[in-house]
Amino acid sequence: SIGLILKSQSLDEIRKILLSLFIVINNETDGEDIETGRMTPCENEKKKLIQAVSTGFVDFEGRFDEITNLEESENENSPLAYEYEKENEGLESLNNPFQTWAENIYKESLIYIREGVGINAMFAPNLVPNILKCIKLLPLWSGLMIPIFGYGEVISSSAAVESSFKKLKTVTFKNTDLPVNIEQFLENHIMSLRGASLIRSSANSHLSSALQLTHHINNENIENSPITLIHSSPISEHNDYYKNDIQFDENIIQSAENDEDFMELPINNNECPLCSTGVFPTEEGAHKCIKCGLPVHALSSCSGQKSDDETLRICKSCLEPKNSYLNDEITAHETWNRKNKKQKQKSYLTPNPFLRHVNINNSRNTVILPILKNGSRAEELKSCNIKDIGKIIFSNTCAFDTLAFIFMVSYCDSEHYKNYIDGLTFIHPFFEFVSNIVKNGITSSTYTERARIILNILEPELQPLEYNTSLAICNTTAGLVITKMNIRTPTVVEDIICSDPKCERNTSHPVAFLTFQTSDGSLNGLQQFLNQRLSTETSVCGYISSKTLLCSNTKTIISKLSPFHIFIEVLYWNNDETSCSTEAGRAIEVQICDIPKVLLHNGCSYELRGIVNYRSGNIRTRSSIGHYNAYCKRSEKRWEIMDDLKLKPTPTKENAKVYCEYLIYTV
């Protein structure tokens, strides 16, 4: 909210924001009013402040007017305008007009204090004195005076000066102990300038001889061989007047301190006139590059020469990396206070759309969740005794455990998803297993319950061992676990309806997860994919009934999205792999911060809860034996790695890279 005030250029906007802010931080409760059952002013103002911070104040200015019901008029604003005209008064007095104005807004906000059923997480009355104190100098730190004074002139950069000092320190005085007195400084500096001028004059003489040689070649009817020996590139707009008097090659100039005194070639698009016509230098030629040994022509457009010996040549490729110091000055950028060049992309002054979906009153994400042990850790786990089967030990339960971790986080951190699971009208063994872990932790019966669910739903292969013990091989994929565990709670239910009521094709088909395919390694099109996938489709039915009759009526497919969770499989294809089986689809490697945090559909927001990270084996197919772990989102910028081979969750950053195979969103 203070960021909105900082950018605002209107007293009316600032007044509305301040009134809403005071109402929110002075109400201890929010939600519904205990007496009337309607939303309290605190709840309404808080929602609109969050909306304004998410998208900017201008979009919601009308809604602010409806909520605050401000009754100010021109007569009420006239005393403030009169005091505002006293530019030289008020700042040194105790009764500052802006502070008095803010105090009146604060007194008005006390009228809107109501008692609600919820606890206001933004209740902070101690901030009021600090806000009133800041408003005292409002014109100095806000954009209020921009319409009057404008933005000012652009500050000139000192990058060229900094580049000149850099050349003095690293080139001219490279072998001199600094600091030095003024006499020694002038002597060395003047000698350096003389050396540079001598090199430049020598280079110009070589250019003139090269010009005569090229004119002689042109007279011999060698066509289509333009030679540009002097190439001047613009330095900047404010240095254009130099080009009217002096034409120079910025790549010919070099300092006197260079170890190898070679003439630098002009960087242009013209090639050697002999090479361009097919007359290439041979091994038997008289000139070769002294660095790489390649044969060259004795032309300035093909090779460079030493200033005192024309027989020593250096080829174009060996000269190109030696750029002029003038280029360094052109491309120099100024850094302030030796700070890192990488700047933060996010700021509190920039609207953050994610704030609309953050549950501020949620404190459940502070719970530290336990870690299930992988069945392969047999030395740490006892065998489970299952009725009618006997003693069972498991191997490689990471796929089941990874999904359990993400559902544990969803149940723990989302009040809406918790109510959904607790309110199921049928018994769901997997969800009941997850909720018991969150409520009671991992107990002695947890692994027995996990074994029972895996045996009944996933049906793993059993191998008999010694001492009446069986080994359950759980080499499965996360996709199979999602399909088996969510038969009654799929992501999408597709209703196939034919226009002919007698057609036998009228059915409902559950879709456990959606499949998003990408060829560029980006997930930015996830929201667009969801919108297209859930759109209604119509086509010719084409169903062949039991009587071998072909239905030619219209078929309509209506996709109904689950109101509680979304499972998305991610397939990464190269352009030449689109015809392959989905089994060959690779897991995309992406940074966590590049994954959409929220998906929207019909006014309902689904928040990213976890990422199924998969490390494949040597075969590198989606069903090969590898290892799964979960990247779970606990808050806006807090992520944890939950791995059943570890002892506890491991914090990680948003810029961490994951091999994303499945994304799980919940309400």
Residue 377: predicted pLDDT: 66
251/393 same-domain check: no
- Angstrom CA distances, 263 to 122, 168, 595, stand at 70, 22, 53
Residue 332: predicted pLDDT: 53
Residue 656: predicted pLDDT: 85
> Residue 24: pLDDT above 50?
yes
Residue 199: predicted pLDDT: 76
Residue 16: predicted pLDDT: 86
| Structure tokens belonging to residue 385 | 């005794």
Is 336 among the domain residues? no
374/317 same-domain check: no
Question: Chain centroid to CA 398: how far?
Answer: 29
Greater confidence, 16 or 584? 16
Residue 187: predicted pLDDT: 86
CATH number at residue 497: 2.60.120
Is 35 among the domain residues? yes
- Angstrom CA distances, 218 to 22, 215, 301, 591, stand at 84, 5, 14, 59
- Rounded distance, CA 72 to CA 65, Å? 11
Residue 184: predicted pLDDT: 86
- Rounded distance, CA 490 to CA 560, Å? 10
Residue 90: predicted pLDDT: 46
511/655 same-domain check: yes
pLDDT band at 577 (very low <50, low <70, confident <90, very high): low
473/496 same-domain check: no
Between 139-143, 465-469, 615-619, the lowest mean confidence (pLDDT) is in 615-619
Question: Which tens digits make up the pLDDT trace of 198-240?
Answer: 777 766 665 555 555 444 444 444 444 443 333 333 333 434 4
496/643 same-domain check: yes
Residue 322: predicted pLDDT: 45
Task: Report the run of H or E that residue 461 belongs to, with start and end.
Answer: strand 461-464
538/439 same-domain check: no
Residue 590: predicted pLDDT: 85
Residue 654: predicted pLDDT: 83
Determine what percent of the chain is predicted with pLDDT higher than 70. 67
Residue 324: predicted pLDDT: 46
- Rounded distance, CA 641 to CA 612, Å? 10
Residue 278: predicted pLDDT: 67
Output the DSSP codes for 329-376.
HHT----STT--SPPPS--TTS--GGGGG--TT--GGGPPPP-PPPTT
479/495 same-domain check: no
Residue 652: predicted pLDDT: 86
Beta-carbon-side half-sphere exposure of residue 327 (alpha carbons within 13 Å): 14
The Cα angle at residue 314 between residues 310 and 317, in degrees rounded to 5: 150
Residue 154: predicted pLDDT: 61
> Residue 282: pLDDT above 60?
yes
Question: Which tens digits make up the pLDDT trace of 335-385?
Answer: 555 555 555 555 556 665 555 555 565 544 456 788 888 777 656 666 777
Domain tally, the chain: 4
Is 158 among the domain residues? no
Greater confidence, 410 or 424? 410
> Residue 418: pLDDT above 80?
yes
Instruction: Give the mean model confidence (pLDDT) for residues 553-565.
Output: 83
- Angstrom CA distances, 205 to 209, 245, 345, stand at 7, 19, 52
**Residue after which a domain boundary falls, among 484, 501, 534:** 484
Residue 356: predicted pLDDT: 56
- Rounded distance, CA 87 to CA 65, Å? 30
Is 476 among the domain residues? yes
Residue 355: predicted pLDDT: 57
315/397 same-domain check: no
Is 313 among the domain residues? yes
> Residue 403: pLDDT above 80?
yes
**Residue after which a domain boundary falls, among 307, 330, 353:** 330
CB 597 within 8 A of CB 558: no
| Structure tokens belonging to residue 463 | 């191998």
Question: Which tens digits make up the pLDDT trace of 67-113?
Answer: 444 444 444 444 444 444 454 454 455 577 888 888 888 888 888 88
- Rounded distance, CA 666 to CA 417, Å? 7
Strand, coil or helix: 117: strand
| Structure tokens belonging to residue 199 | 């090199």
Is 351 among the domain residues? no
444/541 same-domain check: no
- Rounded distance, CA 10 to CA 268, Å? 55
CB atoms inside a 10 Å sphere around CB 301: 22
Beta-carbon-side half-sphere exposure of residue 165 (alpha carbons within 13 Å): 6
Question: Chain centroid to CA 1: how far?
Answer: 24
Instruction: Give the mean model confidence (pLDDT) for residues 459-488.
Output: 78
> Residue 621: pLDDT above 80?
no
Question: Which tens digits make up the pLDDT trace of 129-164?
Answer: 888 888 888 888 888 888 888 776 666 666 677 778
| Structure tokens belonging to residue 372 | 């299930």
CB 125 within 8 A of CB 25: yes
> Residue 422: pLDDT above 70?
yes
Average pLDDT, the chain: 72
Q: Is 527 exposed, middle or buried (0-12, 13-18, 19+ CB in 10 A)?
A: middle
Evaluated on CA atoms 74, 78, 79, 85, the torsion sign reads positive
273/210 same-domain check: yes
Is 168 among the domain residues? no
Residue 265: predicted pLDDT: 41
Domain that includes residue 390, residue range: 364-484
- Rounded distance, CA 367 to CA 355, Å? 22
Is 162 among the domain residues? no
Total number of residues shown for the chain: 667
- Rounded distance, CA 186 to CA 180, Å? 10
CB atoms inside a 10 Å sphere around CB 371: 19
124/7 same-domain check: yes
> Residue 323: pLDDT above 70?
no
Determine what percent of the chain is predicted with pLDDT higher than 90. 0
pLDDT band at 599 (very low <50, low <70, confident <90, very high): confident
**Residue after which a domain boundary falls, among 149, 180, 201:** 149
Residue 69: predicted pLDDT: 47
Whether the ω angle into residue 97 lies within 30 degrees of 0, i.e. cis, is: no
216/138 same-domain check: no
Greater confidence, 331 or 131? 131
Residue 59: predicted pLDDT: 46
Residue 381: predicted pLDDT: 64
Question: Which tens digits make up the pLDDT trace of 582-597?
Answer: 555 567 788 888 888 8
